[in-house]
Amino acid sequence: MIRTVESEPHASSPVLAAYSYCETVTGRQARNFAYGIRLLPTPQRRAMSALYAFSRRVDDIGDGALADDVKVARLEETRTLLTRIREGEVAEDDTDPVAVALTHAAGHFPIPLGGLDELIDGVLMDVRGETYETWDDLKVYCRCVAGAIGRLSLGVFGTEPGARGVERAPEYADTLGLALQLTNILRDVREDAVDGRTYLPADDLAKFGCSAGFSGPRPPEGSDFAGLVHFEVRRARTLFAEGYRLLPMLDRRSGACVAAMAGIYRRLLDRIERDPEAVLRGRVSLPGREKAYVAVRGLSGLDARHVTRRAVRRRA
C-alpha cells in the first residue's frame, strides 16, 4: 500500500464546510474515536471525520426507533448514496455535507469504500435481530461493523515505505477492529439486553450458565458470569496482541492515532476484568484525563516500540 502524503489536498470552500460539519459530528458523538484522530495531520483527520460521520449515519438508522421495514429502506437508500460517492457523482455543492466530504476524501486517499457496504450489511443483521451461536458466527458480524472500519481507516493512514510484512496490514487492521468490537460488546452487554439484543455467542453463554440473559443488574442465578467475562477478555486480548502488529507499519502520527484508540479500549478491558459485574450496573468508561494520558502515550510511540521489540523477540 502506498503511504498517504501529509500535504494538504486542495479543498474548496463548500468542501471545507462539509469537513467542518463532519468534524463537529465526530467531536460531539465519538467518545473514544475523537481522542485518536485529533493526533492526525489535518488531511487525514478530516478524512477520518468523514468516514465517522457516514458510519454514524448508518448506525443511527439501525439504532433508531423506526419500524424495521423503514430501517431497511433507509439503509438501502444509504447504500445507493454510497454508490454515488464511489462513482464520484456527488457535486461539491450538494446539500449533503457528509457525502461531499467523503467524496473528497475518497478522491485523495485510497479508501476501500466497500467496507462501508459491509457496515451496512452488519447493521442489517442488527435490524433482523440475528443472534450468534459460535464465535465464528459472531466474527462475521464484527468484521462487518468494526473490522471493515479498521480497513477503511488504513486507507487513510497508509503504511510506511519498506515496512516489513506490510501485505498483512489490512488483516491486522481488521483484527484490531474485532478486538475493539468485542470490548464494546462486553461493555454494553446490559444495555444491549435491554434493547433485546444478544451478541455474545450462545455456546459461550451456555458454557457459563448465562443463557437466561442479562435483564437486571445481577448475573443469572447460579451462573459463572465472572468466568464468562474473563473468557471473553482473554479472547479480546489475543485479538489486540495480533492487531497491534499493525503499529510498526504506520507513520508516527497514524500509529499514535491507532495506539490511542486501541489503548483506551484496552484500559476499558482492564476495568471490566477487575470488576465483571460493573457492566451489568452501568456503562464502564474512562475519565477524560486517562484518555488524554493514553493519547500522549500513543504519540510518544511507546506502544509501537513495545510491539516491535516483542516481534523481534519472537523471531529470535
- For position 36, what pLDDT does the model report? 79
Which part of the chain is CATH 1.10.600.10? 13-110, 131-315
- For position 104, what pLDDT does the model report? 97
**What whole-number distance in Å separates Cα of residue 187 and Cα of residue 37?**
22
Share of the chain above pLDDT 90, in %: 75
Number of Cβ atoms within 10 Å of the Cβ of 119: 27
Architecture of the structural domain at 131-315: Orthogonal Bundle (1.10)
Question: Tens place of pLDDT for every residue, the chain, 316 residues?
Answer: 334 434 456 789 999 999 999 999 998 887 777 777 888 999 999 999 999 999 999 999 999 999 999 999 999 999 999 999 999 999 999 999 999 999 999 999 999 999 999 999 999 999 999 999 999 999 999 999 999 999 999 999 999 998 999 999 999 999 999 999 999 999 999 999 988 899 999 999 999 999 999 988 899 999 999 999 999 999 999 999 999 999 999 998 899 889 988 988 999 999 999 999 999 998 888 777 777 677 666 666 555 445 444 443 444 4
pLDDT, one tens digit per residue, over 210-249 is 999 998 889 999 999 999 999 999 999 999 999 999 999 9
- For position 299, what pLDDT does the model report? 60
**What whole-number distance in Å separates Cα of residue 163 and Cα of residue 252?**
13
**What whole-number distance in Å separates Cα of residue 279 and Cα of residue 285?**
10
- For position 303, what pLDDT does the model report? 52
- For position 296, what pLDDT does the model report? 66
pLDDT, one tens digit per residue, over 63-107 is 999 999 999 999 999 999 999 999 999 999 999 999 999 999 999
Kindly report the CATH class assigned to 13-110: mainly alpha
Rounded to 5 degrees, what angle do the CA atoms 57, 62, 65 make? 105
pTM, full prediction: 0.89
DSSP state of 4: P
Whether 224 and 209 have beta carbons less than 8 Å apart is answered as yes
Number of Cβ atoms within 10 Å of the Cβ of 305: 13
- Phi, psi for residue 208 in degrees, rounded to 5: -110, 15
Instruction: Name the 3-class secondary structure at 269.
Output: helix
Cell of 110: 485510497
Whether 4 and 152 have beta carbons less than 8 Å apart is answered as no
DSSP state of 216: S
